Amino acid sequence: MISKTTITPTARLVEVFSAIQGEGLNVGTRQIFIRFALCDLRCHFCDSANTWNAPATCRIERSPGSRDFEIYSNPVPLPILIEFVERQNLPCLHDSISLTGGEPLLHAPFLRQFLPQIRATTGLPIYLETGGHRPEQLAMILPYLDSVGMDLKLPSVSGESHWQEHTKFLQLCHESHLNFFVKIIVSHQTDPVELERSALLVAAVSQDVPVFLQPVTPLAASEQFTPIPVLAPSPEQVLMWQALMKRFVKQVRVIPQTHKMLNQL
Ligand code: SF4
């Protein structure tokens, strides 16, 4: 008789913790954050460059919001990650689980197995934060998601260009049952032509997709990896760009990273 061996799926993580969501449509809600390691982009404004390579260890909060981290080895087996999340899941505390990174979709095969189990265990909705450039991987886990925040990367600000992938990604979200929105980081260097192109791209899917313009949070000199400093836009620029985009899409909100105002992670 041939015996079957099952391999336990594993994921490379940076951290698991509980905090208030500071961006986009879920701003102000309490989430359990699972921050996955690895990212295939190199955005000039990245404030999570520690995720680009998989670390040997990850840090896991013992009790929600207390920042009493314990260190564990990577990669983390699926049942252990469920335990880490369950440890955070006190009654009535959290609104949802946030998959963040890095780029969580680089872990799509793992997520396809993990998400149905964590939904069943916690009963919490699942929210994905993503660079919006991997539609094939999104399709793999779409049935297990409740909401998606898709970054639309402006070449003039991020140094990345993924127009076609963003279009496919948004179409997939629109064809599903999901709540989704688009987030665009803007800096003093934003090219308005790219903002108009973004608005047209979103409007081609639906004029009702909420768009969040997020003024960049300037990085400390030690955190920056590009020679040109990424600076916040002026109030006049932001007002002008919101008006420009509202010619094409109905909801354009300007919201900075509020978790940094609260001095959170
Ligand atoms: S997609 Fe996110 S984690 Fe990756 S480089 Fe850009 S900002 Fe950083």
CB 27 within 8 A of CB 254: no
Task: List, for residues 75-86, the tens digit of each pLDDT value.
Answer: 999 999 999 999
Average pLDDT for 51-62: 96
Question: Residue 5 falls within a domain, yes or no?
Answer: no
Question: Residue 4 falls within a domain, yes or no?
Answer: no
Q: Which domain holds residue 243?
A: 11-261
| pLDDT score of 6 | 81
Task: List, for residues 17-36, the tens digit of each pLDDT value.
Answer: 999 999 999 999 999 999 99
At 145, the amino acid letter reads L
Cβ of 225 closer than 6 Å to ligand 1, yes or no, is no
How is residue 109 written in tokens?
Answer: 């095969």
Cβ of 101 closer than 6 Å to ligand 1, yes or no, is yes
**Predicted model pTM:** 0.94
Question: What are the start-end ranges of the E strands in 74-195?
Answer: 76-77, 96-100, 126-130, 147-151, 179-186
| pLDDT score of 215 | 94
Cα(45) to ligand 1 centroid in Å equals 8
pLDDT range class, residue 224, cuts 50, 70, 90:
low
Cβ of 40 closer than 6 Å to ligand 1, yes or no, is no
| pLDDT score of 4 | 66
User: Which of 40, 43, 52 most suits a substitution to test ligand 1, by most atoms within 8 Å of the C-beta?
Assistant: 43
Average pLDDT for 217-227: 70
Specify the DSSP element, H or E, that contains 258. helix 258-261
Please tell me the residue having the least CA distance from ligand 1 atom 1. Answer: 131
Cβ of 102 closer than 6 Å to ligand 1, yes or no, is yes
Cβ of 182 closer than 6 Å to ligand 1, yes or no, is no
Task: List, for residues 112-151, the tens digit of each pLDDT value.
Answer: 999 999 999 999 999 999 999 999 999 999 999 999 999 9
Task: List, for residues 193-219, the tens digit of each pLDDT value.
Answer: 999 999 999 999 999 999 999 999 877
- Percent with pLDDT over 90 in the chain: 86
Question: Residue 125 falls within a domain, yes or no?
Answer: yes
How is residue 183 written in tokens?
Answer: 């987030």
Number of domains in the chain: 1
User: Which of 33, 51, 133, 152 most suits a substitution to test ligand 1, by most atoms within 8 Å of the C-beta?
Assistant: 51
| pLDDT score of 261 | 79
Cβ of 51 closer than 6 Å to ligand 1, yes or no, is yes
Question: Residue 187 falls within a domain, yes or no?
Answer: yes
How is residue 125 written in tokens?
Answer: 């909705």
What is the C-alpha separation between 149 and 37, in angstroms, rounded?
18
* DSSP category for residue 53: S
Cα(68) to ligand 1 centroid in Å equals 26
User: Which of 98, 103, 165, 223 most suits a substitution to test ligand 1, by most atoms within 8 Å of the C-beta?
Assistant: 103
What distance separates the 2 farthest-apart alpha carbons in the chain?
74
Question: Residue 98 falls within a domain, yes or no?
Answer: yes
What is the C-alpha separation between 45 and 214, in angstroms, rounded?
12
| pLDDT score of 5 | 73
Task: List, for residues 59-99, the tens digit of each pLDDT value.
Answer: 999 999 999 999 999 999 999 999 999 999 999 999 999 99
Please tell me the residue having the least CA distance from ligand 1 atom 7. Answer: 46
Question: Residue 3 falls within a domain, yes or no?
Answer: no
What is the C-alpha separation between 104 and 111, in angstroms, rounded?
8
**Ligand 1 atom nearest to 51, measured from its CA:** 3
What is the C-alpha separation between 127 and 124, in angstroms, rounded?
10
What is the C-alpha separation between 128 and 34, in angstroms, rounded?
10
Cβ of 157 closer than 6 Å to ligand 1, yes or no, is no
CA distances from 21 to 5, 10, 50, 129 (A): 40, 26, 20, 11
The CATH number of whichever domain residue 206 belongs to comes to 3.20.20.70
| pLDDT score of 47 | 87
Task: List, for residues 231-251, the tens digit of each pLDDT value.
Answer: 899 999 999 999 999 999 999
Residues 6+ away with beta carbon under 8 Å from 115 = 126, 141, 144, 145
Question: Residue 2 falls within a domain, yes or no?
Answer: no
Mean pLDDT of the chain: 94
